[in-house]
Structure 1
Amino acid sequence: MTTRIFLADDQADIRMGFRRILEAETDLQVVGEADNGIAALMAIRSLEPEVLLADIRMPEMDGLELTREITRSMPAVRVVVVTTFDLDEYVHTALREGACGFLLKRSRSAVLVEAVRAAAAGDSMISPEVTTRLLNRFRRERRAVRRPDEPMTSREEEVARLVAEGLTNSEIGAELFISAGTVKTHLARLQKKLGVRNRVGIAAWVWESGLMAQK
């Protein structure tokens, strides 16, 4: 099954680069692009992609406004915000407005691809660089956290630590010599045991619980 993607960014070279990265994957297809938020909104209404990659700073309508409108009127479209600026205010606003991902444009190609796939699957992903900074705050402000509903296996603890370090599923698989599919299964079990919605929740739990210090 092919995931249909729309690109919204006012820089043509960025759109071209994203298109090349994404269309190198057999399961991803870029179905349209726009250089401003208004044009993106109109095109998305007719093209109905599964995933929108949206820059924050665009003319006509910026990426945060576009995210708000898309998640309000077309909730089936999953929004991943991609930007040069990793300000906490942007991260919080994007996620509050309904984005299911936040990536920096300097993120590696593998991270971009995995974020799109995660969005299409209904999961969330934040750029590892941003995740690390945000989660360092959890580490400094550590507080009591809920215990897992079931004991975590040693393998699940390994996967959880690597998630907290910002590794992608494929990188975790390579590190532990397991398939990306097996990593995904471990993540699903961790989410259930920890009562969190996505990998960001897993990472936050790892830092808050002090599991990283037990390495």
Structure 2
Amino acid sequence: MIRVLLVDDEELVREGLREILEAYDDIIVVGELRSGERVREFVESIEPDVLLLDLAMPRVDGIQALIHLQNLRRPPASIVLTTFDADMNVLAALHRGAVGFVRKSEPTSVLISTVRAAAAGISVLPKETLQKLVPQITDANGYHDDPIAQLSVREREILDDVAGGASNAHIAARMYLSDSTVRSSISRMIRRLNVENRAQLAKLIWDKVHRRP
């Protein structure tokens, strides 16, 4: 059973999330908060597996709440709830330990799959957001000489898909390429970026997202 703590200042949002989550047999909401003030206290008390955390809240916002959790021995997998995606607030939340985020406008299926993935220890970030965030990560951290920044536009797009978990067939169909072209591009990036496989390619992106300033 996946134990979830909800933190959002809007009661209707919390009620809606609880109703959605508890419609699934493997998920239970174990607590709710209207701000980040008592997040650490609740996490230590009820030990949720997943924290669904709004970014924009009065008094103590989502980023501040994440900072309060950083020194915990067993912090929950934190997912940011937001109405926006690729700006520095999302990036800051990822820097502070969030494993991914969900836009409040996303379909229920995206929310549930993200919660399940986070509970399983898998970081989740939508591919389209990676496409927007990676240039910001590169600029913000001074990676102008990083091999990733020197990839071609097509290679970067394929890398974003790989980081998002897409198969070669999916990438090929989406980009109107042959399977062999996709395989060759991935193999070339593995050599250029000095990694061993596609899983490590994806990890390169996540290492950049989670790197602290």
Please indicate the TM-score interval, normalised by the length of the shorter structure. 0.5 to 0.7
2:140 maps to what in 1?
none
Alpha-carbon contact 2:159-2:201 (below 8 Å) kept = no
1:207 maps to what in 2?
none
Structure 2 unpaired stretches of 5+: 138-143, 149-157, 174-189
Alpha-carbon contact 1:68-1:97 (below 8 Å) kept = yes
1:122 maps to what in 2?
121
User: Which amino acid in 2 is paired with 1:103?
Assistant: V
State the Cα distance separating 1:31 from its structure 2 match: 0.4
Provide TM-score, normalisation by structure 2. Answer: 0.65
Q: Kindly provide the CA deviation profile for residues 100-149 of structure 1, in whole angstroms up to 9, marking residues without a partner as x.
A: 012211111111111111111111112455234336889xx9x855xxxx
Structure 1 unpaired stretches of 5+: 146-158, 176-189, 205-215
User: Which amino acid in 1 is paired with 2:100?
Assistant: G
1:45 maps to what in 2?
44
State the Cα distance separating 1:8 from its structure 2 match: 0.2
- Give the length in aligned residue pairs: 168
1:193 maps to what in 2?
197
Provide TM-score, normalisation by structure 1. Answer: 0.64
Matched, 1:94 2:93: yes
1:152 maps to what in 2?
none
State the Cα distance separating 1:78 from its structure 2 match: 1.0
Q: Kindly provide the CA deviation profile for residues 39-71 of structure 1, in whole angstroms up to 9, marking residues without a partner as x.
A: 333222211101100001112311001112113
SS in 2 for 1:29: strand
State, as a whole percentage, how many aligned pairs show the same letter: 34
Matched, 1:17 2:16: yes
Q: CA RMSD in A?
A: 3.4
